[in-house]
Amino acid sequence: MHPYSEAYYRRELQRMSALRPMVLGSLVVSRESGPRPGDGYMYVETRRTMLRDVPVLRLDGEVWMSLTPMEVQSTFMAIRLAHGRVGTAGMGLGYFVQRALEKPEVESVIVYELNDDVLQLYRRTFGVHPKLELHHANARLLEGEQWDFFYADFYRHLLTPQAIDDIAALSSANLIGSYHWWSIEQTVLEALHAGLADRLPRWMLDAYLPFLRLFAQHTRSRTVQLFGCGAALVEELERHGLGRRNSFVQT
């Protein structure tokens, strides 16, 4: 199913129907309705239709995650690529975790989350699963671990340089088969727009060009959202040894 289709979004929203309003320590979970947000994933949304019964997670009064179309679209590739022993940092509402656990090619999912209330929220909502491990831990401090796939999902903003710092540090301290961070697809898009595809590591192009082709089909009549930071992102990758010539992360 196309990740940008309305049918896909409705299906994914239904998958998270177990989430119910609750207050848990510093967290508040609600289900809200309102106008469709102006930002999709990598495009400007022009439709003004209503979204209904959307799960929203607030931490200390600020929205931390909401299951909008942008959230679903930006998690599509992480779900698709997950396999074997999966590690993930940042749990949010548990969307990626739930979807990864459903995949037969995923052997286990190991979650590293700093906020214990988030872990308690997941346990109360979804219970236990034989393939799942939950750890109250700082993923940035992990050493000597091994994952077939790792998903870093603890960023508040798209295209943060911290994501590149994290892949460099975690990949040097642990054994990782393939690594994905939230908004990596937009990193590739920005580099392509800057004409710098030849400086991206081959694994990034192989993994994400198919998704960007789907995105291009979706955005034919919409405005692509670009920030003009492709050169800076490529330079940051190269500074950390992640460019085309010296990348040490494989897929």
Evaluate if residue 141 carries a pLDDT over 50.
Answer: yes
CA distance 232 to 131: 39
- State how far the alpha carbon of 66 is from the alpha carbons of 22, 93, 129, 152, 224, in Å: 15, 8, 23, 17, 22
CA distance 247 to 31: 42
Per-residue pLDDT, 221: 64
Per-residue pLDDT, 246: 58
Kindly state the DSSP code that residue 36 receives in the 8-state scheme: P
CA distance 225 to 212: 13
245 bridge partner residues: none
- pLDDT single digits (tens) 187-240: 999 999 999 999 999 999 999 999 999 999 988 767 999 999 999 999 999 999
68-251: in CATH 3.40.50.150: yes
The values of phi and psi at residue 208, to 5°, are: -115, -15
Is residue 248 very low, low, confident or very high in pLDDT (cuts 50, 70, 90)? very low
The residues spanned by each domain of the chain are 6-67, 68-251
Q: Environment class of residue 131 by beta-carbon count within 10 Å: exposed (0-12), middle (13-18) or buried (19+)?
A: middle
Per-residue pLDDT, 245: 66
Of the chain, the percentage scoring pLDDT greater than 90 comes to 91
pLDDT mean across residues, the chain = 95
Q: What is the mean pLDDT of residues 121-127?
A: 98
The sign of the torsion formed by the CA atoms of 197, 202, 205, 210 equals: positive
Evaluate if residue 72 carries a pLDDT over 70.
Answer: yes
- pLDDT single digits (tens) 6-26: 999 999 999 999 999 999 999
Type of residue at 134: L
- State how far the alpha carbon of 60 is from the alpha carbons of 21, 57, 161, 173, 200, in Å: 16, 10, 25, 32, 38
